[in-house]
């Protein structure tokens, strides 16, 4: 499978833009030849897209073994061979940034380039032509600001939860030259995250200077049938889809396999008058407080996620105003709250006359109960419930193999996931009990 969002890009051979038009000023074919690199289709598309004067932002969702980190580092160095250029290569964390730093050093040694400064601690290489190649971490983006960049590369972009803020707030203003560009490159990791959002921009008329590329293992002729057979036999279906098909729909470690095509709908006109309506409440401050409203249709035996609310750093009073409005709107019968949030429960009752019930809280049993509902397509989610859709997509198991028992990762998907679990599991448990 191979997709490119705009039809102006040649995917079969490197395009011969004029020197004035193209972004990479040096002849890339000659450079690749000196490295012994014969680019595959996805690499050709990436190079042509970044070279095109029509696009400033390139998003590449590529499967495993497409040489995505290598080719992006080659592009970075080629750009830096022009004097007085600043290149930034961002990784999800400090450890992964070492990969690009080592690649840059190897490329420099291969071509015997003159280096003015090589700082391993800060991961900065300055060439004698005045150009700088800097490696940075999304987790420490502040250390990379304060200068203007000609090219920014986000490597393994989907692995970092905070990449959107790092780009929009910290780094987008540093691309302050008319010709400056940015590459986002990664294997996908679910559909409700910033990398997926940026990928979709390549298909939008609103973002006409964005372009998106997607390639599965089929586009790498170096894969043998045995390679693929071995991968399928050694991986879960989700992992294979993610790593070899560049599939946005699922990823390894995903807690719930939610059916988007069948279970996301516009519920604005849904008649809930005969539903039992209940809610889940997960309490936080710096971490957000999450609240979800669910209606249960006794006849159809389906759950409808009607509305959600999630905000951080708000007072109990501010949350109470919103919760009361949702109670009035949906005629909520019960609110199931985190049993550890007794102060919040007391304050809601005493100060705002909002009654709550301690949720049934076993994490693994609760996750399993929600999974049963989801697997049977019994949870229908309103398309406007963006935080809930993110939770259903991005809630994931902790990959640490040394854990005694499985546990989910604590991330931005956790809070609404907890609220969903409190609501659904407690409601199901009460059904069984009574």
- Cα four-point dihedral sign 87, 92, 96, 98: positive
Rg (CA), the chain: 25
Quote the Cα angle for 21-134-189, to 5°.
85
Q: What is the DSSP letter of 135?
A: E
Question: Could you give the 3-state DSSP secondary structure of residue 184?
Answer: strand
Residues 147 and 398: beta-carbon distance below 8 Å:
no
Residues 279 and 423: beta-carbon distance below 8 Å:
yes
In whole angstroms, give the CA distance from residue 13 to residue 5: 17
Say how many Å lie between the first and final Cα of the chain, rounded: 51
- Cα four-point dihedral sign 371, 373, 377, 383: negative
Please give the positions annotated as active site.
156
- 268 CB-near residues (< 8 Å, 6+ apart): 382, 384
Counts for the chain of helices (H) and strands (E), in that order: 14, 16
Q: Shortest CA distance to 360 belongs to which of 433, 266, 252?
A: 433
- Distances, alpha carbon 313 to alpha carbons 26, 72, 318, 365, 418, in Å: 50, 39, 10, 30, 18
Q: Which residues pair with 308 in a beta bridge?
A: 292
């Amino acid at each position: 499978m191979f997709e490119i969002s705009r039809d102006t890009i040649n995917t079969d051979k490197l395009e011969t833009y004029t020197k004035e038009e193209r972004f990479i000023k040096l002849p890339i074919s000659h450079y690749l030849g000196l490295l012994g690199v014969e680019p595959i289709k996805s690499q050709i598309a990436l190079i042509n897209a970044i070279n095109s004067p029509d696009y400033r932002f390139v998003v590449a969702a590529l499967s495993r073994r497409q040489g995505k980190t290598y080719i992006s580092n080659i592009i970075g160095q080629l750009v830096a061979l022009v004097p007085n250029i600043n290149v930034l290569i961002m990784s999800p964390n400090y450890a992964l940034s070492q990969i690009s730093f080592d690649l840059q050093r190897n490329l420099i040694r291969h071509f015997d380039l003159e280096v003015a400064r090589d700082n391993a601690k800060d991961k900065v290489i300055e060439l004698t032509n005045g150009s700088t190649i800097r490696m940075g971490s999304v987790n420490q983006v502040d250390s990379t600001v304060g200068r203007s960049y000609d090219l920014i590369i986000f490597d393994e972009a989907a692995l970092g939860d905070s990449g959107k803020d790092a780009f929009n707030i910290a780094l987008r203003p540093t691309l302050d030259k008319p010709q400056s560009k940015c590459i986002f490159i990664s294997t996908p990791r679910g559909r409700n995250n910033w990398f997926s959002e940026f990928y979709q921009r390549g298909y939008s008329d609103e973002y006409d200077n964005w372009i998106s590329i997607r390639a599965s293992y089929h586009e790498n002729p170096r894969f043998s049938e045995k390679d693929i057979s071995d991968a399928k036999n050694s991986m879960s279906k989700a992992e294979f889809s993610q790593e070899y098909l560049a599939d946005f729909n699922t990823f390894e470690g995903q807690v719930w396999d939610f059916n988007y095509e069948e279970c996301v709908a516009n519920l604005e006109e849904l008649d809930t008058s005969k539903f039992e309506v209940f809610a889940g409440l997960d309490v936080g401050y710096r971490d957000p407080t999450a609240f979800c409203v669910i209606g249960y249709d006794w006849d159809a035996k389906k759950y409808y996620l009607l509305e959600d609310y999630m905000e951080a750093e708000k007072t109990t009073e501010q949350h109470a105003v919103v919760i009361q409005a949702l109670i009035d709107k949906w005629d909520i019968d019960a609110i199931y709250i985190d049993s550890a949030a007794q102060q919040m429960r007391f304050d809601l009752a005493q100060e705002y006359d909002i009654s709550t019930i301690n949720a049934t809280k076993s994490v693994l049993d609760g996750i399993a109960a929600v999974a049963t509902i989801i697997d049977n397509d019994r949870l229908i989610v309103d398309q406007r419930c963006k935080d809930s859709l993110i939770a259903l997509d991005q809630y994931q198991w902790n990959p640490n193999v040394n854990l005694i028992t499985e546990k989910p990762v604590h991330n931005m998907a956790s809070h609404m996931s907890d609220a969903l679990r409190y609501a659904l599991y407690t409601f199901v448990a009460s059904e069984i009990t009574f």
